[in-house]
Amino acid sequence: MRYDGQVAVVTGGSRGIGRAIAEKLAAGGASVVIAYAGNDKAAEETVQSCRKLSEGSEASIICVKADVSNEDDVAALFEKAMEINGRVDIIVNCAGITKDGLVLRMSTEDFDKVLKVNLYGAFFCSRRASQIMLKQRYGRIITISSIVGLRGNAGQTNYSASKAGVIGMTKSMAKELAGRNITVNAVAPGMIATDMTSVLPDKVKDEMTRTIPMGRPGTAEEVAEAVAFFAGKESSYVTGQVLAVDGGMAV
């Protein structure tokens, strides 16, 4: 798919799934604004990778440090995107964190922090992007949910709540924005091989893998392929949908 002349903002874009998405869109000719929370080195590496993939196009690739749970940071992020590119066609809400623990011992702080980044962050970015897209009468809003937002997971009450919230938000926004040629969709990855899952004990990873009909974890690139479809003009009649990229876990 090609995104020539389009501008994409990818939050959580410096590593893992976010990086794979940024690279996929850059390879398709999009100008990409990579938003990241704190790892300057990883962000710069992603910028360089995207620039190589976009060689031959007129796309611009930049990174902007932003905490998506902070409204002022989100405002500054989109101001920078508009200053450089003059438009925003695609927003991919990929920034996310986990603070796992059983609900009986989960602190209010840990519950609140996960919702602020995963759910409020997606809301702040989608709201600002939609204001720009309404004037353009075109846009693609894609949020990374999770399979645990569909089926839950012990020890992840906060994370599950945030990702289930993303799904409800996606469906509501889709109804509000469809008349202006703006689609709103979500991708729900299952177990994906990233830095986030690499820290899990081998026993936990083995147990999770046994629940996957395809018998293996997914890759960040496989999630990026789903996002690429929702981001393209080819998906113009698809909105309010949640696509599970999970090897069959939710079947």
> What is the Cβ-side half-sphere exposure of residue 74, based on CA atoms within 13 angstroms?
20
For residues 172-190, average pLDDT = 98
Query: Measured between alpha carbons, how far is 230 from 189 in angstroms, rounded to an integer?
Result: 14
Is 36 among the residues known to form the active site? no
Percent pLDDT > 90 in the chain is: 89
Annotated catalytic residue within 3, 36, 120, 159:
159
- CA atoms of 130 and 137, how far apart (whole Å): 10
- What pLDDT digit, counting tens, does each position of 26-62 carry? 999 999 999 999 999 999 999 999 999 999 888 999 9
A 10 A CB-CB count for 221 gives: 14
Does the pLDDT value for residue 197 go beyond 90? Answer: no
Which CATH fold would you assign to the domain 7-190+220-245?
Rossmann fold (3.40.50)
Residue at 168: amino acid letter: G
What pLDDT was estimated at residue 31? 97
Closest CA to 9 of 71, 96, 104, 85: 85
**Domains in the chain: boundaries:** 7-190+220-245
